[in-house]
């Protein structure tokens, strides 16, 4: 509130946001300075592979020196699942450029990462895209004849492709396709009109514009025809995708261009009673203005424009589903409450919404042109609020500018009308405040205002003129106050740096060069240099970072204007024109064991460096083996000065080799290896080629090719993945006289089947022996066999721990369950030093990852980035922390404290009646609190009296009492004769076995060992006889049984002898557990004989694992139905057993829930044959695959597989699509597709694999 006094006169002015004069009707948009500080992120490219290093830089502009020297600047990195990955700390100092470098891991998830920089209270962030990319090797250019494409006209394009080093892509196959995405049109003359459609419109399917061959120059003409037979309307954005195929694989280029599918467009302008709420008072008439334009934005006269108003049946405070609004377009079952038809003259028209006191809540207004384009808005009708603050908006004052852009020192000019005796308050403003203000008197009918532009007006200055007319004047009927606002761009040449990079136009790889750096005006600067493969940059059409364009981009208006003229009686004449609410926007910056380094990025980053004024600098560079083109980029920053430069540099040698290979190969697959040989010098006539392989690949050949003139030739070799999985190396070399070149390519050879496991469980009484034959399972080199001998319980540790370790999905429960048993197992077994170290590190890694799953309410959620925790999961993770801490692992105190506080708050929110599963979860939380020494006795007593606990809930609550030292209360809850759990709920992520362990824990706490022993044996026996279990069941059962064994194994020792192929391997074993490694070596079969020499029963568990060769065609469905369809881009069914190279197609997976219950945490795994390429929807998705994103929680796209995570309602179906391309010729294996519920064995579907072929 602002108070003013003059004599006996008083005035009060409210300074809240809603009282400011609305200015969004003016051009006030732009970037906003964060409390006077701006930041610019830049990197050497837009997209990275998992395993790449990321070179991120930050330029911080702090004109007002708000951050003192030595102030910390923190960068936090989050992966696509919202998991915190890393923090990097630096300090504020004299530097202009701050480097933040970090490396990703090859196993890191793909998708959109996020980096957040915190400097005091200032927060800046940008996206980092990590995808399984491979760089382009061809430069693709598509020059379209028009800037805007039209349905009514045919345009032409010139397609040109060349190898990155410059040689034409002669006679190569090329495809040009397009997808049309809905877009909102904007027209320069009608910025204040809304042309948007208020509901989502569907994108088109991908369709082909060109499918043919380039000529000998690598060129082709493309007809850009979008006409007959295609049902498009409105304004669209055409996403044009161009693929050019080498001998194997392809390079891709994408660009977007506007596409107009309607001849006319309509827009509307609403004068709202309350603009910020989009609200109209229902006691007044409201005139709505309409304009109609042609496709170029020129006024067009139209008749029969339809206007319809629909009641949406919900209120102003409720935001409806925008997808449902589409049902109102062109449908007859929604009846409008108001409709009319209007015409426009000179492109302008209007209609009136009459007052109606019954009109209340949310309505949809649609205005439709005769040829289909629809605009509209959701609006809210209601009673007036108070005095209607925003009704007294100022009449717009017309400001006429001489021009809109100036350099500093020039005189700017604008004109405005006025009346006699009026005064004008002129303020010059920018994004940070007011620069100058003055009153103008003695005004005339037309007035000119001039001012000299100064450096502090850069990048733009707003001129705000408030015209105050004499009170009660009658010369015109305008309000007492008129308001005008305009802006000018102001460029200060002193803010520009002009860096110079002296570097050769052509480089040879592995040769050292000296490059020189200077500034053309001899100014001081900080700078970085990057040399990056243009094949990487072209994937996203990466633009060289331009810090000057960022820091001197147009700024949003940084001030608000208040007055009280709308409170002055008689301040308005007979006309009133309202303006919209305040605008302005933030602009976001568009954002075996050895594995192959398949796509080593050609990236060199140097700096940051400081260049003193008037000096030059020299640097040495040397590129890795590579042929193509790199872009040199120099980014410079000084105090308020910025600049950048770029240069494309050819990298080549007289003799070069380009091999085209799949990203991976699976065992048994065969692929063609196309090799392109380039002779760039007249002297090269005869070239000797040698092809060799090492490791897991097979193939070799020598050949001779002849050149008459410089050019290129293709040769083909046969490549096979055979033997064992692991690393394969392809070695290629070429020799011609003195010229030599070679290329070495690493390739991962993968198994095409998951590991198969066989297990045998045997109970061996005293004095008996057991004989077994053990055959090597699967492909040689994948075999692993272990024999576990136990005198306490059969845990089958090797089998179960192997399952937990290999489980591919990583939610919070799975991460913890994988290591929870290790806390006890490392005490139970006599481990080697190496194995013990491995277990300890796994537990520590899990503890380090836990903060990533913490939710905003201090609980824990299954996936990172969630706002709310879950009581059951928080109980489980907190219990793990308690047990790990007891085992001497360091747990962050704040993390454990947060979990315990969350549990305490959860159990205190008690209700009289809870469903049994919720009561069980609350009992589990009470048990964990009691184990932590913080029992919530009042909550325990309340729950004890409630008649809502199932049997396992009662035993859990009994455990809470027992852990609190109140065994008497515990016994009142349980019946020692009833050790079977009640109905198991999916909401507790358990099973009968897991819930039996709750009962076993309670018996152990109560000291009821005679009851506990048979129950533990029953759990262990059933656990090993019923196959695979969920990670929760496996992890928890192993943990509880291992703890039981630790507490009882002191008096139980096994005495056994083991013979392998007749030879003694173990002459005497002692202790409760013995784990024997059975190595097959050259023996594919082993004869085993185990003798129990002791007095008690011995349990033997034989574990045999290996990866089977060949193709797995088995199928299974349980609770889920899985259908797989392959189709071409037109939606027609496609047989994929034999495809032509270059075929684009779609795989559609339809997953249906056949039960009456919803199922969460479903995981869908698709393995892709090596000869097919995934068209990554996040980078190149042009069709239906991009529309699946609302169907799933997360999708991880790798080189050879896609993991999709989602939920499915009862009886519901979801469809997932993936765009693919048949890229490499050869014989390949299509692995089975698997969908499973990660916590419910009742939901499982599998479709068998098949053999596929790609041909030329």
pLDDT at 169: 92
Q: What is the token pair recorded at 659? A: 């091999």
Q: What average pLDDT does range 746-767 have in this prediction?
A: 81
- Tokens 């007035």 label which residue? 447
- Indicate the DSSP class of residue 567: G
CB neighbour list of residue 773: distance below 8 Å, 6 or more residues apart: 1085, 1086, 1087, 1088
Alpha-carbon gap, residue 288 to 272, rounded angstroms: 10
pLDDT for the residue 24: 55
Taking the C-alpha atoms of residue 293 and residue 350, their distance in angstroms, rounded to an integer, is 14
Yes or no: is domain 1116-1255 CATH 2.60.40.690? yes
Q: Where are the domains of the chain?
A: 2-29+394-492+556-567, 50-125, 138-260, 264-392, 495-555+592-651, 655-750, 755-791+1053-1108, 792-1051, 1116-1255
546 or 983: which carries more pLDDT confidence?
A: 546
Choose the CATH number for 2-29+394-492+556-567 among 2.10.109.10, 3.40.50.300, 3.50.50.60, 2.60.40.1930. Answer: 2.60.40.1930
Each residue's pLDDT tens digit, 232-248:
778 888 889 999 998 77
**Architecture field, domain 138-260:** Sandwich (2.60)
Kindly state the percentage of the chain with pLDDT values over 70.
89
More confident residue, 508 or 388: 508
Position 564 pLDDT exceeds 80? no
Helix (H) and strand (E) counts in the chain: 16, 73
Residue-level pLDDT at 105 = 87
The two structure tokens encoding residue 274: 């309350």
Distance CA 798, CA 761 (A): 13
Please provide the DSSP assignment of 898-918 as one string.
HHHHHHHHHHHS--S---HHH
Write out the two tokens for 985.
Answer: 């709920």
Whole-angstrom CA distances from 41 to 57, 100, 117, 122, 588 are 6, 10, 10, 14, 11
Q: What is the dihedral of CA 1111, 1116, 1117, 1123, to 10 degrees?
A: 30
Secondary structure element (H or E) that encloses residue 877, with its range: helix 871-886
Work out the average pLDDT over 674-703. Answer: 92
First vs last C-alpha separation in the chain: 78
Whether the CB-CB separation of 260 and 295 falls below 8 Å is answered with: yes
**Which are the contacts of 921, defined by CB distance < 8 A and separation ≥ 6?**
871, 872, 875, 987, 988
Tokens of 443: 């005004």
Domain 655-750: which topology?
A: Immunoglobulin-like (2.60.40)
State which H helix or E strand residue 1013 sits in. helix 1009-1025
* pLDDT tens, position by position, 641-686: 999 999 999 999 999 998 888 888 888 889 999 999 999 889 999 9
Q: Which residue's structure tokens are 């195929």?
A: 245
Answer yes or no: is pLDDT of 66 > 80: yes
Structural tokens at position 1199:
């080189």
Is the pLDDT at 975 greater than 60? The verdict is yes
In whole angstroms, give the CA distance from residue 279 to residue 379: 6
Least confident of 298-302, 907-911, 1122-1126: 907-911
d(CA 994, CA 1004) in angstroms, rounded, equals: 16
Mean pLDDT, range 1076-1080, rounded to an integer: 74
The pLDDT score that the predictor gives to residue 587 is: 33
Q: Which fold has domain 792-1051?
A: Glycosyltransferase (1.50.10)
Q: In terms of DSSP bridges, do strands 628-638 and 525-533 run parallel, antiparallel, or are they unpaired?
A: antiparallel
* Fold equal for 2-29+394-492+556-567 and 792-1051: no
Strand partners, 237: 181, 258
Give the class (CATH, top level) of 495-555+592-651.
mainly beta
Give the lowest-confidence range in 89-93, 589-593, 1234-1238. Answer: 589-593
Is the model's pLDDT at 1123 over the cut of 90?
Answer: yes
Per the model's pLDDT, the better-predicted residue between 777 and 629 turns out to be 629
Q: How confident is the model at residue 592 (pLDDT cuts 50, 70, 90)?
A: very low
Give the Cβ contact number of residue 1203 at 10 Å: 18
CA atoms within 13 A of residue 104's CA, in its CB half-sphere: 27
Dihedral pair phi/psi, residue 1128, rounded to 5°: -80, -175
**CA dist., res. 79 & res. 849, Å (int):** 12
Structure token pair of residue 1057:
């002898």
Contact between residue 206 and residue 177 where contact means Cβ atoms under 8 Å apart: yes
Task: Supply the DSSP symbol for 595.
Answer: P
Query: If one looks up domain 755-791+1053-1108 in CATH, what number appears?
Result: 2.60.120.380
For residue 566, pLDDT beyond 60: no
**Token pair of 637 as six digits:** 């920053």
Residue range 607-632: mean pLDDT, rounded: 93
Residues 6+ apart with CB under 8 A from 503: 513, 515, 632, 647, 649
Binned at pLDDT 50, 70 and 90, residue 20 comes out as low
Name the fold adopted by 50-125: Immunoglobulin-like (2.60.40)
Q: Cβ distance 1126 to 1210 under 8 Å?
A: no
How far is CA 68 from each of CA 62, 93, 119, 648, 921, rounded to the nearest angstrom?
10, 8, 11, 40, 50
Residue 588: band (very low, low, confident or very high) from pLDDT cuts 50, 70, 90:
very low
C-alpha distances (whole Å) from 59 to each of 39, 65, 456, 632, 1169 are 6, 14, 20, 20, 44
Q: Which helix (H) or strand (E) holds 883?
A: helix 871-886
464-493 average pLDDT score: 78
Query: How far apart, in whole angstroms, are the C-alpha atoms of residue 94 and residue 96?
Result: 7
pLDDT at 801: 80
Dihedrals phi, psi of 993, to nearest 5 degrees: -65, -45
pLDDT given at position 1017: 87
Cα 52 from Cα 586, distance rounded (Å): 30
pLDDT surpassing 80 at residue 933: yes
Domain at 264-392: CATH code: 2.60.40.1930
Q: Report residue 188 as tokens.
A: 């320069």
Q: What is the mean pLDDT of residues 432-446?
A: 89
The length of the chain is: 1256
Encode pLDDT of 404-416 as tens digits. Answer: 899 999 999 999 8
What does pTM read for this prediction? 0.72
**What's the pLDDT at 1138?**
95
Share the mean pLDDT of the chain: 84
Backbone angles phi, psi at 768, to 5 degrees: -95, 165
Beta bridge partners of 374: 368
The upper half-sphere exposure of residue 1120, i.e. CA atoms within 13 Å in the direction of its Cβ, equals 31
| pLDDT of amino acid 1070 | 56
Q: Are 812 and 863 in contact (CB under 8 A)?
A: yes
C-alpha to C-alpha distance for 430 and 630, rounded to whole angstroms: 40
Q: How confident is the model at residue 583 (pLDDT cuts 50, 70, 90)?
A: very low
**HSE-up of 52 (CA within 13 Å, CB side)?**
29
pLDDT tens-digit series, residues 1017-1029: 889 888 877 667 8
Cβ neighbour number for residue 594 with a 10 Å cutoff: 10
Q: What is the pLDDT of residue 493?
A: 92
Distance in angstroms (rounded) separating the CA atoms of residues 267 and 791: 82
What is the pLDDT averaged over residues 1115-1122?
91
- Which segment, 468-477, 633-642, 849-858, 936-945, is predicted with the most confidence on average? 633-642
pLDDT of residue 989: 84
Q: Which pair of structure tokens corresponds to residue 994?
A: 């897991």
pLDDT at 157 over 80: yes
């Amino acid at each position: 509130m602002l108070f003013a006094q003059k004599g006996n006169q008083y005035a009060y002015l409210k300074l809240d946001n809603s009282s400011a004069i609305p200015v969004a009707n003016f051009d006030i948009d732009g970037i906003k300075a964060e409390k006077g500080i701006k930041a610019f992120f830049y990197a050497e490219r837009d997209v990275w592979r998992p395993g790449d290093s990321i070179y991120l830089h930050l330029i911080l502009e702090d004109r007002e020196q708000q951050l003192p020297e030595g102030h910390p600047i923190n960068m936090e990195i989050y992966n696509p699942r919202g998991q915190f990955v890393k923090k990097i700390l630096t300090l504020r100092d004299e530097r202009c450029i701050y480097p933040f470098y970090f490396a990703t891991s090859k196993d890191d998830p793909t998708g959109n990462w996020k980096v957040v920089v915190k400097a005091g209270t200032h927060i800046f962030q940008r996206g980092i895209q990590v995808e399984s990319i491979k760089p382009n090797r061809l430069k693709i250019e598509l020059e379209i004849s028009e800037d805007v494409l039209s349905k009514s006209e045919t345009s032409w394009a010139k397609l040109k492709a060349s190898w990155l080093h410059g040689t034409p892509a002669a006679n190569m196959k090329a495809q040009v396709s397009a997808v049309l995405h809905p877009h909102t049109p904007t027209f320069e003359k009608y910025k204040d009109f809304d042309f948007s459609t208020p509901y989502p419109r569907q994108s088109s399917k991908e369709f082909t514009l060109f499918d043919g061959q380039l000529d000998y120059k690598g060129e082709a003409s493309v007809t850009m025809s979008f006409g007959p037979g295609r049902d498009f309307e409105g304004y669209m954005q055409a996403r044009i995708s161009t693929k050019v195929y080498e001998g194997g694989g392809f390079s891709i280029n994408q660009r977007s261009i506007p596409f107009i599918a309607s001849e006319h467009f309509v827009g509307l302008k609403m004068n709202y009673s309350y603009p910020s709420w989009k609200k109209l008072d229902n006691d007044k008439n409201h005139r709505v203005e309409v304009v109609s334009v042609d496709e170029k934005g020129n006024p067009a006269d139209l008749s029969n424009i339809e206007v319809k108003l629909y009641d949406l049946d919900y209120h102003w405070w409720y935001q409806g589903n925008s997808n449902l609004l589409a049902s109102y377009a062109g449908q007859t079952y929604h009846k409008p409450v108001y409709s009319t038809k209007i015409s426009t003259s000179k492109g302008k028209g209007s209609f009136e919404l009459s007052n109606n006191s019954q009109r209340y809540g949310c309505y949809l207004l649609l205005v439709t042109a005769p040829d289909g384009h629809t605009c509209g808005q959701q609006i809210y009708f209601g009673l007036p609020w108070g005095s209607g603050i925003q009704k007294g908006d100022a009449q717009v004052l017309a400001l006429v500018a001489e021009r809109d852009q100036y350099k500093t020192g020039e005189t700017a000019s604008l004109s405005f009308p006025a009346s006699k005796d009026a005064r004008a308050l002129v303020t010059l403003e920018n994004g940070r405040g007011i620069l100058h203000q003055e009153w103008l008197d003695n005004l005339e009918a037309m007035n000119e205002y001039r001012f000299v532009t100064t450096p502090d007006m850069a990048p733009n200055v707003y001129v705000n003129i408030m015209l105050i007319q004499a009170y009660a004047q009658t010369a015109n009927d305008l309000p007492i106050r008129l308001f005008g606002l305009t802006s000018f761009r102001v460029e200060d040449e002193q803010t520009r740096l002009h860096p110079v990079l002296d570097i050769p136009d052509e480089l040879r790889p592995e040769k050292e060069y000296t490059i020189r750096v200077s500034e053309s005006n001899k100014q001081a600067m900080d700078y970085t240099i990057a040399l990056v493969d243009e094949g990487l940059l072209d994937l996203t059409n990466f633009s060289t970072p331009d810090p000057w364009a960022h820091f001197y981009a147009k700024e949003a208006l940084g001030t608000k204007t208040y007055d009280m003229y709308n409170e002055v009686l008689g301040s308005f004449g007979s006309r009133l024109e309202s303006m919209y609410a305040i605008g302005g926007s933030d602009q976001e910056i568009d954002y075996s064991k050895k594995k192959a380094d398949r796509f080593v990025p050609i990236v060199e980053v140097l700096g940051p460096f400081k260049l003193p004024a008037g000096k030059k600098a020299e640097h040495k560079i040397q590129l890795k083996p590579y042929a193509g083109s790199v872009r040199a980029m120099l980014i410079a920053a000084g105090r308020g000065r910025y600049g950048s430069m770029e240069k494309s540099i050819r990298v080549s040698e007289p003799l070069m080799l380009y091999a085209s290979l799949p990203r991976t190969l699976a065992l048994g697959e065969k692929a063609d290896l196309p090799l392109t040989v380039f002779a760039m010098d007249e002297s090269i006539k005869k070239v000797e080629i040698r092809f060799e392989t090492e490791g897991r690949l097979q193939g070799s050949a020598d050949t001779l090719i002849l050149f008459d003139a410089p050019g290129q030739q293709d040769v083909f070799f046969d490549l096979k993945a055979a033997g064992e999985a692991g690393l394969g190396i392809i070695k290629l070399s070429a020799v011609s006289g003195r010229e030599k070149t070679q290329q070495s390519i690493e390739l991962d050879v993968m198994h095409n089947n998951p590991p198969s496991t066989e297990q045998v469980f045997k109970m061996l009484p005293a004095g008996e022996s057991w004989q077994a034959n053990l055959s090597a399972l699967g492909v040689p080199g994948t075999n692993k066999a272990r024999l576990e001998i136990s005198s306490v319980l059969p845990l089958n540790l090797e089998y179960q721990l192997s399952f937990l370790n290999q489980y591919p999905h990583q939610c919070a429960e799975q991460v913890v369950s994988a290591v929870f048993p290790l806390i006890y197992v490392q005490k139970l077994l006599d481990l080697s030093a190496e194995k013990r170290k491995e277990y300890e590190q796994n537990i520590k890694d899990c503890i380090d990852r836990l903060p990533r799953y913490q939710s905003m309410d201090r609980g824990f959620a299954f996936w990172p980035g969630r706002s709310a925790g879950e009581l059951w999961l928080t109980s489980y993770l907190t219990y793990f922390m308690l047990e790990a801490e007891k085992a001497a692992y360091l747990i962050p105190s704040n993390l454990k404290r947060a979990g315990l506080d969350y549990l305490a708050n959860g159990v205190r929110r008690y209700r009289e009646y809870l469903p049994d599963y919720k009561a069980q979860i609350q009992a589990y939380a009470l048990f964990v609190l009691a184990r932590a020494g913080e029992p919530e006795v009042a909550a325990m007593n309340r729950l004890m009296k409630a008649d809502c606990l199932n049997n396992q809930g009662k035993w859990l609550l009994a455990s809470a009492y027992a852990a609190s030292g109140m065994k008497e209360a515990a016994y009142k809850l349980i019946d020692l004769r009833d050790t079977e759990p009640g109905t198991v709920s999916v909401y507790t992520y358990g099973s009968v076995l897991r819930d039996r362990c709750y009962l076993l824990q309670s018996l152990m706490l109560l000291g009821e060992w005679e009851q506990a022993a048979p129950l533990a044996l029953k759990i262990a026996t059933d656990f090993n006889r019923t196959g695979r279990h969920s990670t929760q069941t496996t992890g928890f059962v192993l943990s509880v049984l291992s703890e039981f064994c630790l507490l009882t194994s002191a008096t139980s020792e096994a005495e056994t002898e083991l013979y392998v192929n007749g030879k003694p391997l173990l002459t005497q074993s002692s202790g409760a557990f013995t784990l024997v490694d059975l190595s097959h070596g050259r023996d594919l079969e082993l004869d085993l004989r185990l003798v129990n020499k002791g007095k008690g029963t011995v349990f033997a568990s034989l574990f045999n694992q290996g990866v089977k060769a060949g193709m797995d065609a088995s199928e299974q469905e349980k609770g889920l139905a899985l259908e797989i369809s392959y189709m071409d881009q037109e939606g027609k069914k496609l047989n994929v057993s034999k495809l032509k190279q270059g075929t684009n197609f779609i795989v559609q997976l339809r997953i249906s829930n056949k039960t009456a219950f919803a199922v969460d945490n479903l995981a869908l795994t698709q393995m892709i044959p090596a000869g097919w390429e995934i068209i990554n929807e996040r980078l190149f998705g042009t069709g239906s695959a991009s529309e699946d994103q609302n169907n799933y929680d997360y999708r991880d796209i790798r080189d050879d597989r896609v993991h999709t995570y989602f939920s499915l309602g009862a009886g519901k179906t979801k469809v997932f699509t993936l765009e693919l391309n048949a890229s490499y010729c050869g014989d390949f294996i299509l692995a089975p597709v698997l969908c499973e519920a990660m916590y419910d064995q009742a939901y499982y579907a599998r479709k068998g694999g098949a053999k596929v072929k790609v041909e030329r």
